Amino acid sequence: MTPATSHSIQPLLRKLIRTGIGRFRFLMGTIGMGVAVFFILLAVQTFLNFNELLHGKRNENETADFLVINKEVTAARQTNKALSAFTTAEIDSLRQQPFAEKVGQLASSNFSVNVSSYSDAFPFYTDAYFESVPDEFIDVKSEAWKWAPGQRDLPVIIPSFFVDLYNTGMAMSQQNLPQLSMEALKLLPLRVAVKGQGREAEWVGHIVGASDRLNSILIPQSYMEWANQQFGYQQQKLATRIVLKTQDPSDPALVKYLADRSWRTNADKTRFSKVRTIVNWIVGIVGGIGVVMLLFGLLVFSLFIQLTIAASRPDIELLKTLGLSRQTLHRFLMQQFMPVHLVIMLAVLLALSGLQWALQSVLTGQGMHVAATINPYTVAASLLVLVLIWLTNRGTIRQYLRQ
Amino acid sequence: MIISLQQVVPTPIREKILARPSDVWNAQVELGGTHWTKLRAPSGSGKTTLIHILWQLRKDYSGQVLYNQAPANSLSDDALSAMRQQQLSVVFQDLRLFGHLTARENIELKRRMTHPTLYPTSRVDEMAAELGVQHVLEQQAATCSYGEQQRIAIIRALMQPFELLLMDEPFSHLDKANTARAAALIAAECRQRQAGFILTDLDDDDHFSYTQQLHL
């Protein structure tokens, strides 16, 4: 009585339980399921690609994360400057929005400012104003960016478009003005004359950098607070501009929030919002169709399992009579129906990988970067769908074997 | 394996059963163990019904059936499958072969159902040779004669371990010589397993040296 090196019972079960019936329906079901899974995973991958385009490190545009916001000047506001200022309530409300990471106020000078040149070779004289903002909002990093009472040197940050305007416009139009590099500008001392409340004083201004982010002439906050006390016409501080740090300037919620209040910001930065809304819609529709198709696919496969079990009912009953356990039958049926789903899933992931690779090639040519391979979340989503299919099949088989 | 019957009466033929004396129906009786039991059962006495109740194919009866003290209705599906694979075997009167499988496949199906298998596949050929059905092994069961099918069903029943073998008129379509060969094989297999059997038939016979004779 040597126990035989057993052959499996599976080939015999395969002969008895005819899984091959309704081959055409099975093929249609498989194709439908494939399209459904493709749509779902395509939606996931598209969403992730778009996110990468918006937030990916390689696509990051630092200025995009900071918005300077001001109120639109209307006829009513023209006559009352205070109406153009943000109230504390407005700032607090903005601060509580989900898209707002940080909110800072730009404080403006409350005294008159004259800036002129010490040099005869490069003469100029202008009225000016200053603004200040907490350091964390400033994109220029400089050792010289500090001021304490008694310090004669005053660091200044100018907007970079000033430099461009000067070099490309002003210097070209006036014969006696040279073009200046950023390095040269940093070396140029400025006479900063301040007047107010009957007092006057002078500082030596130094440009320490140019900001891409903030379109204003900035001085350190410590100087602003001190000078406003010394020379300020009015003690009440008005926040006419605020800086918003946000992860996503194209967030439709943010754009709507600003539009609802007629607040203005750099439209260039929020322009992406419309595209994004459209993409969100498309992704949602494709994903939605995918989910509906998946539900129908699951239904078709459930019916298919029912059909198979019903068609082989007498043989299944006899197998059970002879002592075959329901577990063995269950396992056998699962092994008949699950592999096709695995194949579908792999085929879809392969197709998506091809698409992604092609997309990456095309976008790279246009200076945009997405990953060359599909996102791990897409793979995770495919596993999730697979688990759903597995659970549905298991439930159907269990239910119909019991009957 | 001891099967205890406590006042068991099949519901559909209740009146008919109760109208006549029986050693089994509506009685307290223990079957199995190492007994080689002959159940003499005239037509209409519920012979096949009893085999089906003992195999738990039918549950339309009153009274209690216990397997080694365990009530039948407490057996789970899995426990029942395990019992049919390891402790009980059966030759049905209507044989219950898969008609579209070959004779060999029918036997193999049972052989491979138990883990580990009791016999190597060569034993199938040995038994088939012993019973004179080797030539039909590759033939579809449905195309075999009833006598051949009967012997295939007997070989199938012997392919698994068991403590008790149920047989419902197993030799009804066999001539004397073939009956003697089949009985010899069954006796040898039961002896090897130290197993008992319950055989039902219409008349008295001397195919085996029975240790228990009951009247249904």
Reported ipTM = 0.94
- Which residue did the predictor score with more confidence, A77 or A92? A92
Best-predicted range by mean pLDDT (A30-44, A124-138, A306-320, B189-203)? B189-203
Buried b (16+ CB within 10 A) or exposed e, A303-313: ebbebbbeebe
Determine how β-strand A199-211 pairs with β-strand A189-196: antiparallel
Integer distance in angstroms from the first to the last C-alpha of chain B?
A: 20
- Does residue A1 carry a pLDDT above 70? no
Range in A10-19, A126-135, A195-204, B68-77 with the lowest mean pLDDT: A10-19
Asked if B81 and A8 come within 8 Å (Cβ–Cβ), the reply is no
Closest CA–CA distance from residue A390 to any residue of chain B (Å): 23
Assess contact for A187 and A207: CB atoms under 8 A. Answer: no
CA within 13 Å, CB half, A275: 12
Range in A46-50, A202-206, A248-252, A345-349 with the lowest mean pLDDT: A248-252
- Does residue B82 carry a pLDDT above 50? yes
Predicted confidence at residue A62, as pLDDT, reads 47
Confidence of residue B32 (pLDDT cuts 50, 70, 90): very high
Predicted confidence at residue A235, as pLDDT, reads 62
* Interface residue of A322, A327, A332 to substitute, partner B, most B CBs within 10 Å: A322
Predicted confidence at residue B211, as pLDDT, reads 95
Predicted confidence at residue A20, as pLDDT, reads 64
Asked if A323 and B57 come within 8 Å (Cβ–Cβ), the reply is no
Instruction: Average the pLDDT over A352-364 and give the result.
Output: 92
Asked if B121 and A7 come within 8 Å (Cβ–Cβ), the reply is yes
Asked if A321 and B82 come within 8 Å (Cβ–Cβ), the reply is no
Instruction: Average the pLDDT over A100-124 and give the result.
Output: 84
Assess contact for A206 and A153: CB atoms under 8 A. Answer: yes
At B195-204, the pLDDT tens digits run: 999 999 998 8
Range in A210-224, A265-279, A303-317 with the lowest mean pLDDT: A265-279
Determine how β-strand B36-40 pairs with β-strand B196-201: parallel
- Does residue A16 carry a pLDDT above 70? yes
Is the Cα torsion angle A369, A373, A376, A378 positive or negative in sign? positive
Assess contact for B27 and B87: CB atoms under 8 A. Answer: no
Best-predicted range by mean pLDDT (A224-233, B36-45, B167-176)? B167-176
The 3-class SS string of A115-182 reads EEECCCCCCCEEEECCEECCHHHCCCCCCCCCCCCCCCEEEEEEEHHHHHHHHHHHHHHCCCCCCCCH
Cross-strand partners of B201: B40
**Structure tokens given for A231:** 């020379």
Q: Is the CB of residue B59 less than 8 Å away from at least one CB of chain A?
A: no
Closest CA–CA distance from residue B40 to any residue of chain A (Å): 25
Closest CA–CA distance from residue B126 to any residue of chain A (Å): 13
Instruction: Average the pLDDT over A116-132 and give the result.
Output: 84
Determine how β-strand A131-132 pairs with β-strand A100-108: antiparallel
- If DSSP codes are grouped into helix, strand and coil, which group holds residue A15? helix
Assess contact for B154 and B79: CB atoms under 8 A. Answer: no
Q: Is A363 exposed, middle or buried (0-12, 13-18, 19+ CB in 10 A)?
A: middle
Predicted confidence at residue A63, as pLDDT, reads 42
**Structure tokens given for A376:** 């791990």
Predicted confidence at residue A182, as pLDDT, reads 85
Asked if B113 and A9 come within 8 Å (Cβ–Cβ), the reply is yes
- Does residue B213 carry a pLDDT above 80? yes
At A127-180, the pLDDT tens digits run: 988 889 888 888 888 888 999 988 999 999 998 888 888 888 888 887 777 788
Predicted confidence at residue B149, as pLDDT, reads 97
Instruction: Average the pLDDT over B80-103 and give the result.
Output: 95
Cross-strand partners of A195: A112, A200
At A164-175, the pLDDT tens digits run: 888 888 888 877
Q: What percent of chain A has pLDDT over 70?
A: 91
Predicted confidence at residue A4, as pLDDT, reads 38
| Residue B164, H or E segment | strand B164-168
Domains of chain B, CATH where assigned = 2-215 (3.40.50.300)
